[in-house]
Structure formats: structure tokens, C-alpha cells
Amino acid sequence: MLINGPRAVAHVNQPQGHTTRDPELHTYGSWRHLRADPAGGPVRLTSVMIDGSLKPFEENIAITRKVTDSAHVLGVSVEGELGTIGGNDSYAEARHRSTDMADPSRVVLGLGGCVDYELKLTADVLAQLVADYGIVAAELTSPVTVTSERDLVVSILGYVARGGGGEHFVAAAPALEHFASRFPHRVALGGTSVRAGILMSRLGVPSTLHLVSVDDTVRRLLPPDGAYLSSGVEDTLHPHLIVQYDQGLRIRAGELDISHQPTPAPTIGPRPMTVDVLPANQPETFYRGAGRIAGFRNGAALTDRPEDWVGLGTTRSDLGPSGLSTLSDGRLLADVIADDPRWWLGPQRTDTGVLVKLLDAGQRLPLHVHPDRRFATAHLASPYGKTEAWVIVSARPDAYVHLGFARDVSADELAGWVADQQTGQLLDATKKVPVSAGDAILCPAGLPHAIGDGVLLV
């Protein structure tokens, strides 16, 4: 649930994804993580469609290949439309027909769509819910998983009490709908592609919407002049909750007295800004380095451990104090931040939420996958997933990284490789991406990856 403060917007159960646009091809594609299925694990739909069938055949093949090469780097599959069967239209006639903007099939938008419940919190209803559920002040921390209306009330009250906002996944849609029914609310369609389709309809341009799911509520709210297709095999509803609240909202019930006041702007005050050169912070790890971190740090006498964690105030899981950065005077950065978190981090934050490190691969790292925030919250009791972004500092001439699979790999095939330790087959199925100094690579949570030998990166 994303709540950004007074008069803020709270998104519940919003799928996250990436959308790309090729400015030369004028081709849109999107891919998103879908909601967790009832069995537990995340369901991933990663696909892009490219239709260049109105182009001359050779040009269509070249366009489709370019999209495929770009998409496969991220492990995204591509569906291409390579031609048509039958018909007597010339290319010019087909091209003319394709510009008929009264035909909704000419504009396809997606993938996305959801039902939004938009409401404004009121103190009297919240106070009654606090009394009905027996909520006390000690509970006002964000629940790991929201599975009931009570959990939802606790989560929202926590955000109001802290005077800010945030995002939380709600695992129980009925609880969300029941909560919304207690307040004056509006039901609308959400999602960038759907809202674009609604706006285009108002301008007289119909479209076809590719939806994640659909039900009678969605059908009722869709533009009447358009069309839709759905990735769902049956009607489902996955609503979002958009919550607003006024500055100065006060909820009093029992021992609770929550009053939101505007957060004053952070001030530095008289403390001078200084620069502190952090010493190396190289926790022991399981793989080899190659001494490149010492060279990057201008020849400092360091071990050849492969990682240097920069400005870290969080320990390695339960292995503290391993991983904690120290200042040049020997104090732990974590202790200094704890003494004055507002000065270091700004209001309403307890940590940076970011891990920055130098990584010197003296051997290939194992192929592995990091969780996203939803999985980490539900299964690991952590609000953080791990999406990585790499900047290549140096790389040997033949260096590469493994990024996603180059073909479709079934769960059974992958499990067999792991069980039998078929490392060669596993790596042969990956997409190998050559890298050199200056390259920047995004590795989203959930994408299998491995950094190859001979790479130094940040």
C-alpha cells in the first residue's frame, strides 16, 4: 500500500512492471509481475508482441529481430506477426487501412488494468474500527502480510501516525472491498494503459485493451467504443485501494490518540557538512576476488576479497557486526546514524534501503535469483526485495554476464538441472551478455543472473 502523506494515494496490490518504447520502430511492449497464485509462488507473465506484418517481409523480419534481441536480454519472450495468409490488398492499401483510427484494433494498449476503490478516511469510522477490533498503540507497525480488515486498519493507522505513506500488498481482496464500503468511495479503472484508453476514447480514438483480468465491474467501466482481451482464463477481481486523508486528521479511541500534523521541512542547522573517506569494508564471502578493488582504491593495501560494501549501516543477516561500515575515526556508521537519524536520512526513515558495493569477480558467480518486495514481505519477513543495477568499472576483453534464459525453461527442467548439478546445461540455457567498462545493466528482481569471471562493477 503506497501512502504518500496527507491527501495521498495508497496503492494496494499494484503489479509492478517495465514498459519500453523503441523510438525508431514506434513499437510498444510491456511485461509485468502478476499477483502470487493461491499455491504460493509468484506468477510471472513476461512477453512482448511485435506486429510488423504490414511492412515488407524483409523489413518486418529485421524489426522483429531487433525487438527480440532487446527483450531476450531481460528474459522476455516475444511473439511476432510475420505475415498474412490470403487477401488481395496491396501494401499501400493495407497501409491506408491501418490508419483508420475508428477501428479499435489499430491501437492496442497493455498489459495492465485494475479496479480502484478511491476513498477518503474519516475519523469517526476509523475510531469505531479501532474499538471493534481492540487495536492498541503497540500494534501500529506495518504487518508483514495483510490478510484481514483488521490488518488493513492497523497498517493504515500506522502510516497516519507516522505522518507519511507507503505501499502494502493486501492478500485478501474481500477485506479491501469491505473496508472501502465503510467510507464514501468511487469505483474507477486504474492502470496506465487503461486510463490512456479512456482518455483516447474521449478524444474519439477507440482502442483495444490487453487486461490482466476482467469481471463485470471492469466491463461496465471500459470505454463503450473499444474492445478488450484478457490474460485471465476466468473472471477475477484484484482491486486496488486509493486512500486519501486530510492534514490534521485525528483518531481517538481508547488509549489511541493519533493526530497527523504536517512534517516540518528538514533542516541541517548549524552542523557543518563534512566529507569522510570511508575505509574499505570487505566482509568475508564464499567466492574469489582478483585484487581489482585495491587497484580501484588507488593501490591501498587490501585483501583480495571480492566485495567492498560502501556506507552500509546494516549487518549481513544475523552475522553482525560483519558488513557494517566504519568512519575514518573508527566509529560505526550505524551508531552515528542511530544518534541522529533525521540529520542523516531525513524524516520518517530508519535506513537508506540501498546496498552499494564494489564487486570483483575472480570467478563466475553462481546463477541465482533475488526476491521482489512482495515475496520478501510474504515469506522472508522483510520489506525489501532486491533489484540490482550494475555499472561496469572494468572487464577483461571476453567478459560477459548471464542475464535471464535464452529460451523457455520449464520448472521441471530447471529442477532437474539443480538436483543433478548439471551446471553446464544450466549455463548453456542462459543469455550471455558481453560487457565492457562503462556499461550499465539493470537486473530486475526475479531474473536469473550470474556475473562472469573478470568483471569489476559497482
Query: 364: domain range?
Result: 292-457
* pLDDT, position 199: 87
* pLDDT, position 265: 55
Q: Say if 285 falls within a structural domain.
A: no
Residues present in the chain in total = 458
Q: Are residues 187 and 251 in the same domain?
A: yes
Q: Are residues 302 and 363 in the same domain?
A: yes
* Residue pair 266/342 in contact by the 8 Å Cβ criterion: yes
Q: Are residues 246 and 330 in the same domain?
A: no
Q: Are residues 179 and 302 in the same domain?
A: no
* Residue pair 348/385 in contact by the 8 Å Cβ criterion: no
Stretch (H or E) spanning 251: strand 250-253
Ranges 2-11, 190-199, 374-383: which has the least confidence: 2-11
Ranges 22-26, 87-91, 133-137: which has the least confidence: 22-26
* pLDDT, position 21: 33
Q: Are residues 173 and 24 in the same domain?
A: yes
pLDDT tier at 379 (50, 70, 90 boundaries)?
A: confident
Is 368 buried (19+), middle (13-18) or exposed (0-12) by CB count in 10 A? exposed
* pLDDT, position 313: 78
In DSSP terms, which residues pair with 456 in a beta bridge? 360, 394
Q: Return the ∠ at Cα 153 (arms to 148 and 155), rounded to 5°.
A: 95
pLDDT at 113 over 90: no
* pLDDT, position 43: 35
pLDDT at 167 over 80: no
User: Residue 363 maps to which CATH number?
Assistant: 2.60.120.10
Distance CA 397, CA 377 (A): 40
* pLDDT, position 442: 93
* pLDDT, position 28: 30
- Please state, rounded to an integer, the average pLDDT across all residues of the chain: 77
Nearest to residue 423, comparing CAs of 431, 436, 432, 414? 414
Which among 246, 263, 280 is the end of a domain?
A: 263
* Phi, psi at 196, each rounded to 5°: -65, -40
Distance CA 60, CA 274 (A): 57
* pLDDT, position 341: 83
* pLDDT, position 82: 60
Q: What is the pLDDT of residues 22-44, one digit of tens each?
A: 323 332 333 332 233 334 443 34
Segment 212-237 shows an average pLDDT of: 86
Q: Which residues contact 449 (CB under 8 A, 6 or more apart)?
A: 367, 368, 369, 388, 401, 402, 403, 404, 443
Q: How many domains does the chain have?
A: 2
Q: Say if 88 falls within a structural domain.
A: no
- Helix, strand, or coil (residue 69): helix
Q: What is the pLDDT of residues 238-266, one digit of tens each?
A: 788 888 888 788 898 887 888 766 555 55
Q: Say if 70 falls within a structural domain.
A: no
Q: Return the ∠ at Cα 344 (arms to 340 and 350), rounded to 5°.
A: 75
Q: Return the ∠ at Cα 216 (arms to 213 and 220), rounded to 5°.
A: 105
Distance CA 128, CA 456 (A): 57
The H helix count followed by the E strand count for the chain is: 13, 21
Q: Are residues 359 and 397 in the same domain?
A: yes
- Helix, strand, or coil (residue 412): helix
pLDDT tier at 124 (50, 70, 90 boundaries)?
A: very high
Ranges 65-79, 148-162, 400-414, 443-457: which has the least confidence: 65-79
β-strand pairing of 250-253 with 185-190: unpaired
Q: Are residues 129 and 225 in the same domain?
A: yes
Q: Say if 25 falls within a structural domain.
A: yes
Q: How many CB atoms lie within 10 A of CB 384?
A: 17
- Helix, strand, or coil (residue 209): strand
Q: Say if 442 falls within a structural domain.
A: yes
- Amino acid letter, 234: E
Q: Say if 384 falls within a structural domain.
A: yes
pLDDT at 19 over 60: no
Model confidence, pTM: 0.45
Can you state the percent helix, strand and coil of the chain, rounding each to 5? 25, 25, 50
Distance CA 256, CA 104 (A): 54
Q: Say if 9 falls within a structural domain.
A: yes
Q: What is the pLDDT of residues 315-339, one digit of tens each?
A: 766 666 677 888 877 788 888 888 8
Q: Are residues 114 and 182 in the same domain?
A: yes
Q: Report the share of the chain in percent with pLDDT over 90.
A: 24
Q: Are residues 228 and 302 in the same domain?
A: no
Q: Say if 283 falls within a structural domain.
A: no
Omega within 30 of 0 (cis) for the link into 111: yes
Which among 263, 282, 315 is the end of a domain?
A: 263
- Amino acid letter, 301: A
Q: Are residues 373 and 310 in the same domain?
A: yes
Q: Are residues 167 and 123 in the same domain?
A: yes
* Residue pair 84/53 in contact by the 8 Å Cβ criterion: yes
* pLDDT, position 161: 79
Q: Are residues 254 and 322 in the same domain?
A: no
The most confident of 112-126, 280-294, 396-410, by mean pLDDT: 396-410
* pLDDT, position 264: 56
* pLDDT, position 318: 60
Q: Across the chain, which distance is largest between two alpha carbons, in Å?
A: 80
Cell of 137: 498503540
Q: Which residues contact 439 (CB under 8 A, 6 or more apart)?
A: 390, 391, 392, 395
Which among 214, 244, 263 is the end of a domain?
A: 263
Is 87 buried (19+), middle (13-18) or exposed (0-12) by CB count in 10 A? exposed
How many Cα atoms are found within 13 Å in the side-chain-facing hemisphere of 39?
3
pLDDT at 366 over 50: yes
Ranges 85-94, 314-323, 326-335, 425-434: which has the least confidence: 85-94
